[in-house]
Structure 1
Amino acid sequence: MEAVENLRKYLKIPTVHPDINYEPVLDLLKQIANDLKLSVGVYQYVAGNPIIVLTWIGTHPSLKSVLLNSHMDTVPVIKENWVYDPFGGVVDAEGNIHGRGAQDCKSVGLMYLEAIRRLKNAGVRLQRTVHVLFVPDEELGGNKGMGVFVNTDDFRALNVGFAIDEGFANADNKFTISYSDRLSWKFVVDCEGTTGHASFLLNDTPGEKLTYFLNKVYELRDESKQKLKQDPSLSLSDVISANLTQLQGGYTSNVIPEKLTLVFDFRLPPTTDLAKFEESISRWCEEAGTGVTIRFLSKNQPYATKLDKSNQFWVAFENGIQELQVPYEIIVYKATTDAYHLRRVGVPCIGFVPLRNTVPLKHSDNEYLNTNAFLEAIDFYTKLIPALGNC
């Protein structure tokens, strides 16, 4: 089956950070575009990070277009933890397609393209132009991909009126739709202090300051866990997640380092009082002692897409789901995606993937997607794309 074979080919191309060669992906997408008679545009604003746009021109190209987005990059793998080769594109006896990116999110880009294949084979024409976008760097925040692309004349020339970006699979018999993302606040805390022989009990050491700040973070983390435990109506989208992701410092075992560095990844609900939150972490730095400083890697602001009758694309989308009689839930996305960058420049965007009865395996060992779920998602897009393209 062509759709499955194309996904297997895509999964066999390693696109894991930190060193990614996107050229094999570009070759594959050009081949598929040629088969589908879609035009191809390639943009590159940061070396080694191409942005690829496959375009199906509508009968009324002056109308606002529809953008279907996915990202090419994936998180790394620990191969020894995998039952199958994460870059083998293996299909097991149950029809599960194994590989890094099977859910996040190589399958998503091919769902769009394989749906367009079916529509074109059936002679369907759309009034609106449809752009299928493949971007790099999403897993690192998108600053070398979507983050820069949305600020260019090349992007503005796409005339986008509505976009769909990646979403979470749902383990139950329903779809999950997001209209906003939790906010990504990533920052570095440097703790400088007294250095000396590790046999001494010196004052004002970096480790003491680090401990104070880290305790504050984990107090906040515990508060979020307690909120989820005490109120079953809450989800991860409703609380702050806080995690230490990197710890750096020292050069030998018997010397107290002059500096220790911590890197944090916080995800905040869009309802968070950001000024108050920033005041809190600045105060933690002050209380930890002199020489404790903070620098931000990201400080996302809240943006949301309206899901009401004022958004004609949402009306068409919702009608499409209701016609299929598939239940759905509307959430704030638990993580942060390239949808953030689209909403930031005023493009209405939802996070969505038509995968139900599917265990979410984003970033997991042994990531896979069942063939039937993949094909059902393509079926859904053959109905949804015309609804959006003709609304």
Structure 2
Amino acid sequence: MKIRCSTFLNCHLLLFRLYFLSLLVFTFATTPEEDPSVIVSRFQKYLQINTAQPHPNYYEAADFILSQANSLSLHSQTLEFVEGKPTLLLKWPGSNPNLPSILLNSHTDVVPSEPHKWAHPPFDAHLDPNGDIYARGSQDMKCVGMQYLEAIRRLKASGFQPIRTVYLSFVPDEEIGGHDGAEKFADSDIFNKMNVGIVVDEGLASPNENYRVFYAERCPWWLVIKATGAPGHGAKLYDNTAMENLLKSIESVRRFRAAQFDLVKAGLKAEGEVTSVNMVFLKAGTPSPTGFVMNLQPSEAEAGFDIRVPPTADQESLEKRIAEEWAPASRNMTFTFKQKVSVHDKFGKPILTAADSSNPWWTLLEGAVKKANGKLGKPEIFPASTDARYFRKRGLPAIGFSPMANTPILLHDHNEFLNQAEYLKGIDMYESIIKAYASYVEHTRDGASREEL
């Protein structure tokens, strides 16, 4: 009996010690949830840095991002492909560096604003009683850059260790084309050595409960049409004057635009699925000290058009339309492109990312958003341009995603804002996405498809 009693007591004592030890381990292994106001405050500090074009304060933004990286013990590099335009590259090493890595891209610059037309100064990051944070860049796209960092902060606090390496890039100049930022970065030896398998970049806010997600974007064609003709008296009717020929072209462009827009208004196609054309300038006339000479028909006239072409469009057909209908040589017309981005990648394939089960990264994103209690809308083609195009051009999959549901689309608009509750929910989304991506081990470079890599 004594032996059994002693054994019984010893067993209970051992169980009590194990229980107490487990409580200690749990206490030290978990981190209490951080005060949301502190998280929002970090976002506000980033928003308060004036990085508006044409004179963005890149170095102040870089110092802020580097301070956040240091607080998270992330490796950091500052790259300057062009002097005065730093690209920040942060790294969270994975346990298996042979697996293709994950790149989370964002840009640090924002578009200009007209402060007198805002309810609150655009770089005050004012938080109103409804929880709305008013600031230039709150939607486009300082929110996403900070959400990446906050998601990693949470994952590190939870003890998560990535299998794949996670990179974060903060690039300049996206708002003026990205040529000195993402384009040079994507073409660099540094990028080649990163062994990137998937790129995540920006998307758009969604007015409803479904998050918008983008698998491609329209390619910009900036077209200038020029008409020439003999000058003449303003009272005389001439054939083939510069102005008359240009007006014929503008009408032809207008009819094409209306036909494309009708598809959108009828609900047959989304905005990103049609070719949009908008006239952005008209230059003609003979200047005078008081304006223009009114009794002289000019010998030259020009018009500029911002054309956006989806990767699903027939590029050759559009080129033929421009040459034969919009700017025919038979009407003394010529045309040039200030910018013309091909709808094909370097492999000759349409510049888009598979948005179905053939792409494991897409499937992982869907599952991660659902796990975080989010809903994805129908995959879309981004109607404008982002830095993602430079990565897709290399044949890499790139997904555009800015987790802002129940939010009006206000990028580049007056009174741009993001509600703090939506911002915090977005961190949940990225925490789930990064965890899913960084844990994915099924495919490696040797056995993966081109769509994955």
Q: Please give the TM-score of this superposition, normalised by the length of structure 2.
A: 0.81
Selected match of 2:255 from 215, 219, 232 = 219
CA contact (8 A) 2:223 2:304 kept: yes
Between stretches 251-260 and 12-21, larger displacement belongs to 251-260
Any idea what the Cα deviations from partners look like across 1:152-200, whole Å, max 9, x if unmatched?
A: 1111112111111101121111111111112222222233333467676
Contact 1:174 1:327 in 2 (8 A): yes
Is 1:60 matched up with 2:96? yes
Counterpart-to-counterpart distance in 2, 1:18 and 1:204: 41
Gaps of 5+ in 1: none
Deviation (angstroms), 1:269: 2.5
Matched residue, 2:181: 145
One-letter amino acid matched to 1:7: F
Question: Percent identity of the aligned residues?
Answer: 35
Task: Find the counterpart in structure 2 of residue 285 from structure 1.
Answer: 327
Give the aligned partner of residue 75 of structure 1: 111
CA displacement at 1:267 relative to structure 2: 1.3
Question: 1:41–1:379: structure 2 CA closer, same or farther, 3 Å change rule?
Answer: same
What per-residue deviation string (whole Å, max 9, x for no partner) do you get for residues 230-260 of structure 1? Answer: x324221222211112334553311655433
Q: Which whole-Å CA distance do the structure 2 matches of 1:144 and 1:179 have between them?
A: 24
| Partner secondary structure for residue 352 of structure 2 | coil
Which residue does 1:267 correspond to in 2? 308
CA contact (8 A) 2:47 2:123 kept: yes
> Which residue of structure 1 lines up, in the alignment, with residue 429 of structure 2?
380
Q: Equivalent residue for 1:183?
A: 219
Deviations along 1:331-380, whole A, 9 cap, x unmatched? 12222211111111021111112221122211111100000000110122
The 1:257/1:3 distance shift into structure 2, 3 A limit, reads farther
2:418 to 357, 366, 369: 369
Asked if 2 retains the 8 angstrom alpha-carbon contact of 1:188 and 1:297, the reply is no
Structure 2 letter corresponding to 1:20: P
Partners in 2 of 1:206 and 1:24 — Cα distance? 50
Distance 2:83 2:315 in 1: 34
Q: CA deviation at 1:293?
A: 2.7
1:232 is matched with which residue?
A: 267
Matched, 1:89 2:125: yes
**Separation (CA, whole Å) in 2 of partners of 1:33 and 1:85:** 28
Q: Which of 359, 362, 372 matches 1:314? A: 362
Q: Which moved more, 1:254-263 or 1:177-186?
A: 254-263
Supply the RMSD in Å over aligned alpha carbons.
Answer: 2.1
Query: What's 2:22 paired with?
Result: none
8 Å CA contact 1:3, 1:110 repeated in 2:
no
Q: C-alpha distance in 2, partners of 1:12/1:85?
A: 10
Greater shift in the superposed pair: 170-179 or 198-207: 198-207
> 73-82 vs 269-278, which deviates more?
73-82
The residue correspondences of 1:340-379 to structure 2 (distance < 5 A) are 340-379=389-428
Three-state SS of the structure 1 residue aligned to 2:139 is coil
Aligned-pair CA distance for 1:304: 1.3
Q: Counterpart in 2 of 1:295?
A: 337
Which residue in the other structure is 2:6 paired with? none
Aligned to 1:130: 166
Which one-letter code corresponds to 1:177 in the other structure?
V
> Are the counterparts in 2 of residues 168 and 353 from structure 1 also a CA contact under 8 Å?
yes
Unaligned runs of 5+ in 2: 1-36, 344-349, 441-453
Quick check: 1:98 aligned with 2:134? Answer: yes
CA 1:258 to 1:353, structure 2 compared with 1: closer, same or farther past 3 Å?
A: same
Change (3 A) 1:123 1:324: closer
Match of 2:80 in 1: 44
What is the rounded CA distance, in whole Å, between the counterparts of 2:298 and 2:110 in structure 1?
35
Which SS does the other structure have where 1:74 is aligned?
coil
Matched, 1:244 2:302: no
Moved more, 120-129 or 191-200: 191-200
Report the Cα distance in structure 2 between the residues aligned to 1:7 and 1:322, rounded to whole angstroms.
25
Partner amino acid, structure 1, of 2:314 = D
* Offset of residue 6 of structure 1: 2.2
1:90–1:99 contact (8 Å) kept in structure 2:
yes
